[in-house]
Structure 1
């Protein structure tokens, strides 16, 4: 059974882009958020083989360290013609300096090396809420599209090369609200993180009064 989340939550991330998106998503619910990066918490080793496993590792570590409910996202880009790579290794492809320009170039180099004309891909987001007593809840979202030449400087990570189905612009060309804003009346959002968050909010959050 799902638990209601109120008050304060630790966001288990050191990624400024993810932190900004998560805070915007949480804002309508009156949830105060503090990040693992702001608290100086170490990043746990992500030893999982799936997005959900790595999200749980991060959420549990933050919950244990802070004594607060903790909210973690593990997400990445899965390219069909690369057998789902970079997948859970999406951040690692960017290396310790977070060079996503190089990571995007690597994707196209790998596609060329394989002689792959197919450019279908999708983003996955696994969101886990963990409580200090060990209770966890998982929510997942996906958005499908295709890879194109890099366009736009908004967003972060692989956003400039991903054009979601039904749209002419890449995530890198969209505003934050266009990418992950939620239409609460319709219960709809575009990004993988927004879609996962909609399910999380229905189960665990109530709008601020």
Structure 2
């Protein structure tokens, strides 16, 4: 379908996400940021699902900048909170997108909760030549009673993935990428791109 090297824009202003995904991409896939393509506007997330938000962001960039693009949306879905914070994970405690306040609210709502099971879910939408494809990654785990670790971002300090005894925030980027929701979805994206090369 296309020849390497392929340039693709990752539709995010989140430098942590950019750094994580760059570490997963092969050299023949050249990642560009929103800044690289001259996009300075805030991409809206007004849909009621992760699938809808990732498609909304990717479509905006594709329609306005005519570049191959992918966008992601990620949510923490806590069983005892009926899937909250879910699609509003970044704004759970308000529009300021305050990670600490978001974590505090989750821990507060889970006070004395026996079921602390949760999952991180990422949906990536890729648009190339006007055709979109979606890739999902899910990792199950448990919400801790208190923060642990200084790496990562978002809810990483309170999420222990199944099969481990440390939080995402206690792992290196390399360790986290091997098992994370975003890593799983990104590998699906990368495999699709590699298999699409002539």
Flag whether TM exceeds 0.5 (same fold). yes
2:52 alignment counterpart: 53
Point out where structure 2 has 5 or more consecutive residues left out of the alignment: none
Output aligned runs, 1:84-163, within 5 Å.
84-93=83-92, 95-112=94-111, 116-131=113-128, 133-148=129-144, 149-163=146-160
1:170 alignment counterpart: 167
Residues 116 and 18 (structure 1), Cα distance of their counterparts in 2 relative to 1, 3 Å cut: same
Task: State the Cα deviation string for residues 28-62 of structure 1 (Å, max 9, x = none).
Answer: 24222221245343123212221111101111111
How far the C-alpha of 1:22 sits from its partner, in A, is 1.5
How far the C-alpha of 1:94 sits from its partner, in A, is 5.2
How far the C-alpha of 1:146 sits from its partner, in A, is 0.1
Residues 174 and 32 (structure 1), Cα distance of their counterparts in 2 relative to 1, 3 Å cut: same
How far the C-alpha of 1:4 sits from its partner, in A, is 5.5
Q: Over aligned residues, Cα RMSD in angstroms?
A: 2.1
3-state SS of 2:164 partner: coil
1:197 alignment counterpart: 186
Kindly indicate whether the alpha-carbon contact (under 8 Å) linking 1:5 and 1:205 is maintained by their aligned counterparts in 2.
no
Residues 58 and 142 (structure 1), Cα distance of their counterparts in 2 relative to 1, 3 Å cut: same
3-state SS of 1:154 partner: coil
How far the C-alpha of 1:96 sits from its partner, in A, is 4.4
Alpha-carbon distance between aligned partners in 1 of 2:93 and 2:150, rounded to the nearest angstrom: 17
Point out where structure 1 has 5 or more consecutive residues left out of the alignment: 181-188
How far the C-alpha of 1:5 sits from its partner, in A, is 7.7
1:8 alignment counterpart: 7
Kindly indicate whether the alpha-carbon contact (under 8 Å) linking 1:123 and 1:192 is maintained by their aligned counterparts in 2.
yes
Alpha-carbon distance between aligned partners in 2 of 1:70 and 1:96, rounded to the nearest angstrom: 26
Kindly indicate whether the alpha-carbon contact (under 8 Å) linking 1:160 and 1:173 is maintained by their aligned counterparts in 2.
yes
Residues 94 and 37 (structure 1), Cα distance of their counterparts in 2 relative to 1, 3 Å cut: farther
The alignment's TM-score, normalised by the length of structure 1, stands at 0.85
3-state SS of 2:169 partner: helix
The alignment's TM-score, normalised by the length of structure 2, stands at 0.90
Q: Number of aligned pairs?
A: 194
Alpha-carbon distance between aligned partners in 2 of 1:5 and 1:145, rounded to the nearest angstrom: 39
